[in-house]
């Protein structure tokens, strides 16, 4: 099991929102409910960056969620760019978020690009699936 990466509320949020962790993704990783699909996407990126598998599984729709999640200790997620989104606002029931996530490994630096689909159930957003580009 990969150990979680510690972060203080006053540190810059890993999702690169220009807010602190405590102002941005911290409350969601602590169990709060993101109000939009973009906020959930940012919190999920932050969870990957901090190796918080619990948040990832908790926010993954039951129809597509794996039983367990193995996070690779050699992958460091270092940057997130939200390219576009459709729907996914507070009063919507579905949404998509197109993003680019930068990462590095011991031998490489790269970018993963995906359009993720989200659904809102009982007031909470869930990640359903992603189309990697």
Asked, for residue 65, whether it belongs to a domain, the answer is yes
Give tens-digit pLDDT for 32-53.
Answer: 999 999 999 999 999 999 999 9
Q: Does a structural domain hold residue 18?
A: no
In a domain, 16, yes or no: no
Which tokens belong to 97? 């978020």
Does position 3 have pLDDT exceeding 70, yes or no? Answer: no
Mapped onto helix, strand or coil, the DSSP state of residue 42 is: helix
- Decide if 66 is inside a domain: yes
Give the phi and the psi of residue 65 in degrees, each rounded to 5: -70, 130
| Separation of alpha carbons 126 and 103, rounded Å | 23
The predicted-structure confidence for 68-90, as pLDDT tens digits, reads as follows: 999 999 999 999 999 999 999 99
Determine the structural domain holding residue 93 and report its residue range: 26-132
3-state secondary structure at position 124: strand
**CATH code, domain carrying 71:** 3.10.450.50
**Domain presence at residue 71:** yes
* Count of domains for the chain: 1
């Amino acid at each position: 099991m990969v150990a979680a990466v510690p972060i203080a509320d006053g540190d810059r949020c890993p999702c690169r929102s220009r807010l602190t962790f405590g102002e941005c993704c911290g409350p969601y990783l602590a169990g709060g409910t993101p109000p939009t699909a973009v906020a959930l996407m940012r919190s999920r990126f932050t969870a990957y960056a901090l190796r918080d598998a619990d948040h990832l599984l908790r926010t993954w729709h039951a129809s597509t969620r794996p039983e367990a999640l193995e996070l690779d200790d050699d992958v460091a997620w270092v940057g997130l760019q939200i390219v576009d989104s459709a729907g996914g606002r507070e009063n919507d029931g579905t949404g998509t978020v197109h993003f680019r996530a930068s990462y590095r490994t011991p031998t490489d630096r790269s970018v993963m690009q995906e359009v993720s689909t989200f659904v809102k159930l009982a007031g909470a957003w869930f990640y359903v699936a992603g189309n990697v580009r």
